[in-house]
């Protein structure tokens, strides 16, 4: 995953939702698509995800809207939570760095 600067606004975090065989999961019918974000072993926040395209490619994202979205600096985790007809679950956890400011 990408590096994010602490306090940055307008930074998208994209998550790929995949089937067990590694192919993209079609989540176009998802009624819930959230990204759970937080500092490793710290507080987590659930943010509403948006399809990057139409959902058939399994890609969802969240774009930061407040300087506090990426505070504090450190190793952050992200996990997608999906609910759709016939499926409810979460992706594997991904990690990315939020870099500190002077």
- pLDDT tens for 52-73 read 999 999 999 999 999 888 999 9
For residue 33, list its beta bridge partners: 82
Percentage of the chain modeled with pLDDT above 70:
98
**What is the CATH number for 59?**
2.60.40.10
Could you tell me the residue range of the domain that residue 83 belongs to?
A: 4-99
User: pLDDT band at 2, cuts 50/70/90?
Assistant: low
Closest by CA position to 76, among listed 62, 53, 94: 94
For 2, phi and psi rounded to 5 degrees?
-80, 165
d(CA 60, CA 80): 8
Q: What is the pLDDT confidence band of residue 42, given thresholds at 50, 70 and 90?
A: confident
Number of domains in the chain: 1
Phi and psi for 70 in degrees, rounded to 5? Answer: -120, 55
């Amino acid at each position: 995953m990408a590096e994010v600067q602490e306090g940055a606004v307008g930074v998208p975090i994209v998550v790929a939702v995949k089937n067990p065989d590694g192919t993209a999961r079609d989540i176009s019918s998802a009624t819930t698509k959230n990204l759970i974000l937080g500092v490793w072993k710290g507080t987590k926040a659930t943010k509403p995800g948006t399809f990057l395209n139409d959902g058939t490619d399994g890609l969802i994202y969240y774009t930061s809207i407040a300087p506090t979205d990426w505070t504090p600096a450190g190793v952050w985790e992200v996990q997608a939570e999906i609910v759709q007809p016939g499926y409810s679950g979460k992706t594997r956890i991904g990690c990315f760095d939020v870099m500190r400011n002077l």
